[in-house]
């Protein structure tokens, strides 16, 4: 899943980006509200990590207010040094889905993001299950009929995206956007190659090709 981090502190922003990538997310990072607006207008993200104290305008709260006013329901986690109850209430009542006070543990940040994304898809269970396939996003573990299956990072990300959107056909360009970040230029047939590997490892009928449109995993196994 692809995350946009909006944080002006270089050390913290770089640390969050590196930590989330190690946790299996595709993570992009900008340092002000204008850059965030541009990124959100041109790319698709699964969740937003938003600092409140951004330089210039819009600051973090103003950016969130604008997004919600436009009907953008992107799951948003505020990360900030503002730790009073009043600050937390203002953030949550202003449209944030979660609120995390600095300093924080990167594992907690990743866990909170997984929970936000899970809820945004209407899913309560921590595992993604489809027939005899089980996917644990936190442990980055996949099993087939109880046996562990080794997947490359991009294969795992592609499988996760398709399972989270079961029943919907995802175009190749959208899949590329979900599993590759900025400065990561995939080969023209990268998605097709990952799909081929997933079919070989998890079953030839798991992923259905909709010619001229994209790929899908059907609701029923």
What is the per-residue pLDDT across 44-65, written as a single tens digit (0 to 9) for each?
899 999 999 898 889 999 999 9
On the question of pLDDT at 178 being above 90, the answer is: no
Surface-to-core class of residue 147, CB atoms within 10 Å of its CB (0-12 exposed, 13-18 middle, 19+ buried): exposed
On the question of pLDDT at 185 being above 80, the answer is: no
Helix (H, G, I), strand (E, B) or coil at 118: helix
Structure tokens at 154: 């991009």
State the pLDDT at residue 125: 81
Per-residue burial over 76-106, b if 16 or more Cβ lie within 10 Å, else e, is bbbbbebeeeebbebbeebbbbbbbeeeeee
Q: Model confidence over 23-52: pLDDT tens digits?
A: 989 999 999 999 999 999 988 899 999 999
CATH 3.40.50.2300 residue spans of the chain: 2-120
pTM of structure: 0.82
Helix (H, G, I), strand (E, B) or coil at 124: coil
CATH topology of domain 128-216: Arc Repressor Mutant, subunit A (1.10.10)
Superfamily of domain 2-120: Response regulator (3.40.50.2300)
Structure tokens at 146: 């109880």
CATH 1.10.10.10 residue spans of the chain: 128-216
Q: Model confidence over 131-162: pLDDT tens digits?
A: 999 999 888 999 999 999 999 989 999 999 99
130 within 8 A of 117, measured Cβ to Cβ? no
């Amino acid at each position: 899943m692809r995350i946009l981090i909006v944080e002006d502190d270089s050390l913290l922003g770089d640390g969050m980006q590196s930590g989330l990538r190690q946790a299996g997310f595709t993570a992009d990072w900008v340092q002000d509200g204008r850059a965030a607006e541009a990124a959100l207008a041109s790319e698709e993200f699964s969740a937003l990590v938003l600092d409140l104290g951004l330089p210039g305008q819009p600051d973090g709260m103003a950016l969130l207010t604008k997004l919600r006013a436009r009907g953008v329901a992107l799951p948003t986690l505020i990360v900030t040094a503002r730790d009073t109850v009043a600050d937390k209430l203002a953030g949550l009542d202003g449209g944030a889905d979660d609120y995390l006070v600095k300093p924080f543990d990167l594992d907690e940040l990743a866990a909170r993001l997984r929970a936000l994304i899970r809820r945004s898809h209407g899913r309560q269970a921590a595992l993604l299950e489809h027939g005899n396939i089980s996917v644990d996003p936190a442990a980055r573990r996949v099993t087939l009929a109880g046996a562990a299956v080794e997947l490359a990072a991009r294969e795992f990300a592609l499988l996760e995206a398709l399972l989270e959107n079961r029943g919907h056909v995802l175009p190749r360009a959208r899949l590329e956007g979900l599993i590759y970040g900025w400065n990561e230029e995939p080969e023209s047939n990268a998605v097709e190659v990952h799909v081929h590997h997933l079919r070989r490892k998890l079953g030839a009928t798991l992923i259905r090709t909709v010619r001229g449109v994209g790929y899908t995993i059907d609701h029923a196994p």
